[in-house]
Amino acid sequence: MAIAKFNVRVSVQDDERATGCKVLIVLLRDPEAVRLWSKLYTEFPGHTPMSQYPEAHFVKSANAADQFPEDTGVEVAVAGRSNAGKSSAINVIVNRRQFARTSKTPGRTQLVNFFALRDGQRLVDLPGYGFARVAEKTRRHWGDLLTDYFRVRRSLKGLLLIVDIRRQLTDYDRQMIEFAEDVDLPIHVILTKADKLKRGQAAKALLEVQKELGDRASVQLFSALKRLGEQEARQVLERFLAA
Ligand SMILES: Nc1nc2c(ncn2[C@@H]2O[C@H](COP(=O)(O)OP(=O)(O)OP(=O)(O)O)[C@@H](O)[C@H]2O)c(=O)[nH]1
Ligand SMILES: [Mg+2]
């Protein structure tokens, strides 16, 4: 393959999993090179495709609007009920383990977490909503933070709404969809944890949500556990970022 045609940077670093091994880091700046490289890896059994976002990194967490990073470039927000599987979905889409922290305890992500995907492109993990066991004051703070976020962010280009397929859409999700519609954001609903349902039940749930939302949002099946629907989710993310 004419790899020399692309702008490629190769470096060697210690394995961050502390295995004592060195890992070869290959940075591909050209999207076509990334596509070819991913294809090459997918076609060799035993290899997992590399991240399409080799330079992705955590930027900052914000607890108030004045802590949000500079509102330039483009960003896509990931929202959903507490414990729906937002952080797990982000990890699969970005193809990094524990990139966004996951937890068995609902309400873990209580801040707006900003991640850079590439220069000028961000993914934002919003605090989960709908968790019953939090104090009213905390709940109000989350609500205000989300409202502020949707109102002020000019760089916000799309919403990925993560929904636990077993619960389907809740009133909180419907509210979130309205928030996004108010500011003319395109919405994509990711029905996650599809591995928890039989194939037929998952297909039925997909149809029901599609029927309810019509052309207000696109909808897909997803499983972070089985890595189902990751390509589709990434394609939508890329489309939103390119807008
Ligand atoms: N079976 C299955 N479990 C999942 C899937 N996605 C997430 N989980 C589990 O669901 C739990 C919550 O996942 P998180 O990704 O932390 O959820 P979250 O929406 O980020 O949660 P908060 O940040 O607390 O609001 C964890 O125990 C995950 O392992 C999935 O696709 N399949
Ligand atoms: Mg989370």
pLDDT at 32: 72
**Which residue of 78, 92, 97, 102 sits with most ligand 1 atoms within 8 Å of its CB, as the best mutation to test the pocket?**
102
Neighbours of ion ligand 2 (CB under 5 A): 86-87, 109
pLDDT in tens, 93-131: 998 877 777 665 655 557 899 999 999 999 999 988 876
Distance 198 CA to ligand 1 centre (A): 19
> pTM of the entire structure?
0.80
Q: Is the pLDDT of residue 54 over 90?
A: no
Same-domain check for residues 45 and 109: no
Same-domain check for residues 216 and 237: yes
Instruction: Report the CATH number that the domain containing residue 84 is assigned in CATH.
Output: 3.40.50.300
Sheet holding 121-125: strands in order across?
Answer: 57-62, 112-118, 121-125, 74-80, 156-164, 187-192, 218-221
Number of Cβ within 10 Å of residue 218's Cβ equals: 15
pLDDT at 23: 57
Sequence-ordered list of residues with C-beta below 8 angstroms from that of 219, at least 6 positions apart, any chain: 188, 189, 191, 206, 209, 210, 213
Same-domain check for residues 41 and 61: no
Q: Is the pLDDT of residue 67 over 90?
A: yes
Same-domain check for residues 211 and 97: yes
| Domain limit, last residue, from 50, 69, 84 | 50
Strand 74-80, strand 121-125: pairing:
parallel
Same-domain check for residues 88 and 165: yes
Q: How many domains does the chain have?
A: 2
What does the block give as tokens for 198? Answer: 């039989």
Distance 90 CA to ligand 1 centre (A): 10
Question: Would the CB of 107 count as within 6 Å of ligand 1?
Answer: yes
Question: Would the CB of 82 count as within 6 Å of ligand 1?
Answer: yes
Same-domain check for residues 34 and 120: no
Same-domain check for residues 25 and 110: no
Domain holding 80, by residue range, is 55-242
Same-domain check for residues 62 and 41: no
Tell me the three-class secondary structure of 39-82, residue by residue: HHHHCCCCCCCCCCCCCCEEEEEECCHHHCCCCCCEEEEEEEEC
Q: Is the pLDDT of residue 70 over 90?
A: yes
Query: Considering only CA atoms, which residue is closest to atom 4 of ligand 1?
Result: 193
Same-domain check for residues 82 and 8: no
| Domain limit, last residue, from 27, 50, 73 | 50
Same-domain check for residues 87 and 143: yes
